[in-house]
Amino acid sequence: MPQTELAPVRGFRFSGVAAGIKKTGALDVGLAVADGPAVAAGVFTRNVVRAAPVLVAESRLASGTARAILANSGCANACTGQPGLDAALATTQALAAALAVETDAVLPASTGVIGRLLPAERISAHAGELVRRLSPEGFAEFAEAIRTTDRWPKLARRAVGGSSASLLGIAKGAGMIHPDMGPPQATMLAFLFTDLIVDRAVLEVALREAVDATFNACSVDGDTSTNDCVIAMASGASGERAGPELGAALRDVCSELARSIVADGEGSEHMAEIRVSGLASEAEARAVARTIATSLLVKTALFGKDANWGRLLAAAGRAGVQFDPSRAVIRIGGIEVARGGLAVGEEAERRAAEALAGASYAIELELGDGPAAFGYLTSDLGHGYVDVNAGYRS
């Protein structure tokens, strides 16, 4: 997923530095700053175990405004207790001093190994450099600085329909991806920047709806992180007030970032959209799609390019949702492989297996004539995932 050249968003500047948190010497601390106080909203992991930066950022967002996001990779600062909280406070304080803003206006975010204390002094020592490097075009550095196992940086930009305003999204994530952020959920981090004028309540509702339909409907490995967070900031620098187009733009940008995260699933080669339809409620369709999207037997079959529709139907059957298997229609990459709950035939499965060789395809299950449907993104799972995660800390 190569990134095309993206334009800046008015009212925001970005930077990234290598502070020595990653052993490799790559960029590992990013800074995003609004030129003035920005309207801000966030959604955070619903995991009971919540990293220090999640606790701090959520608390600070209660004000409804923010000035900066200080994000690091290489260390999640999760399961680090009071020393972890102290580290999040110290780093944001150092950054606030360098920016000459209130400490509470700086939101921390971290991703990386759990159980290791954030090396606060390394980040604080780079506060001045982070501020000096700030530029409207610095979002590419910022996106680089928050990568962990990501194969590529993740950015998406949209013009907001009917206005001169724009929305820029920057995300990271490839593993521990099964977001559950609430009140709508990976470690995934995503940051959204718009130059619209928008009320906090409007931004918050639009953000939650967008996250629920996109990040909360994707899975790489079924593991919900301690650090997931999505933060949206609005600078107002366009002079235009947000209308109903904001929701569509947020959903669009979040969808593109979620697709990029799943396509970048650790060791994966394929992205599948699981579309479940014909059920009574969206909650039921979501539960079935989610169960298929997280089934190891399904994900290894996708890795093997095996049109094993029996595993799809077996996973659907354990989702806790009632349906009549004898009415099921299943299509893989547009090829119907089961009808009336029965195999269509070997030729259909051979053609479906060809579709499974593609980088991206849809898997559709019609499970009745109910009105509700839901789509969930997932990736195949093979040797690459095992390699990344059996040796992650070494």
User: Which sequence positions are flagged as catalytic?
Assistant: 187
Among 120, 160, 165, 176, binds its own copies (CB under 8 A): 176
Among 7, 36, 63, 115, binds its own copies (CB under 8 A): 115
Nearest to 99 by CA among 141, 71, 127: 127
Query: Which of residues 129 and 269 has its CB atom nearest to its own copies in the complex?
Result: 269
Shortest Cβ 220–its own copies spacing (Å) = 9
Shortest Cβ 284–its own copies spacing (Å) = 11
Using DSSP's 3-state secondary structure scheme, residue 197 falls into strand
| Residue 257-296 contact track with its own copies, rule CB under 8 A, x = bound | -------------------------------------xxx
368 binds its own copies (CB under 8 A): no
340 binds its own copies (CB under 8 A): yes
Q: Which two tokens stand for residue 287?
A: 């539960």
Query: Which of residues 58 and 129 has its CB atom nearest to its own copies in the complex?
Result: 58
175 binds its own copies (CB under 8 A): yes
Q: Answer for the pair 219, 293: CB distance below 8 angstroms, yes or no.
A: yes
Residue list 193-232, contact with its own copies (CB under 8 A)? 221-226
Among 313, 335, 352, 356, binds its own copies (CB under 8 A): 313
The span from the first CA to the last CA of the chain, in angstroms, equals 28
Q: Which two tokens stand for residue 262?
A: 């799943």
Query: Which of residues 18 and 55 has its CB atom nearest to its own copies in the complex?
Result: 55
267 torsion bin: left (phi>0), alpha (psi -120 to 50), beta (else): left
Among 135, 322, 357, 371, binds its own copies (CB under 8 A): 322
Helix pair angle (200-213, 245-263), 10° resolution? 40
Contacts with its own copies: how many residues (CB under 8 A)?
A: 65
Q: Answer for the pair 143, 155: CB distance below 8 angstroms, yes or no.
A: yes
Query: Which of residues 79 and 97 has its CB atom nearest to its own copies in the complex?
Result: 79
79 binds its own copies (CB under 8 A): yes
Q: Answer for the pair 110, 75: CB distance below 8 angstroms, yes or no.
A: yes
Query: Which of residues 142 and 385 has its CB atom nearest to its own copies in the complex?
Result: 385
Using DSSP's 3-state secondary structure scheme, residue 40 falls into strand
Query: Which of residues 58 and 180 has its CB atom nearest to its own copies in the complex?
Result: 180
Shortest Cβ 296–its own copies spacing (Å) = 4
Place of tokens 């559950």: 180
Shortest Cβ 212–its own copies spacing (Å) = 17
342 torsion bin: left (phi>0), alpha (psi -120 to 50), beta (else): beta
In sequence order, what E strands does the chain have?
A: 12-17, 29-45, 65-72, 106-110, 154-159, 166-172, 181-182, 189-194, 218-219, 229-234, 271-279, 329-332, 335-339, 342-343, 360-366, 372-379
Q: Answer for the pair 15, 123: CB distance below 8 angstroms, yes or no.
A: no
Q: Answer for the pair 263, 351: CB distance below 8 angstroms, yes or no.
A: no
Shortest Cβ 18–its own copies spacing (Å) = 24
350 binds its own copies (CB under 8 A): no
Residue type, position 167, single letter: L
49 binds its own copies (CB under 8 A): yes
Binding site for its own copies (CB under 8 A): 46-50, 76, 78-81, 83, 113-116, 175-176, 180, 221-226, 294-297, 300-301, 303-304, 306, 308-311, 313-319, 321-323, 325-326, 338, 340-343, 381-383, 385-386, 389-394
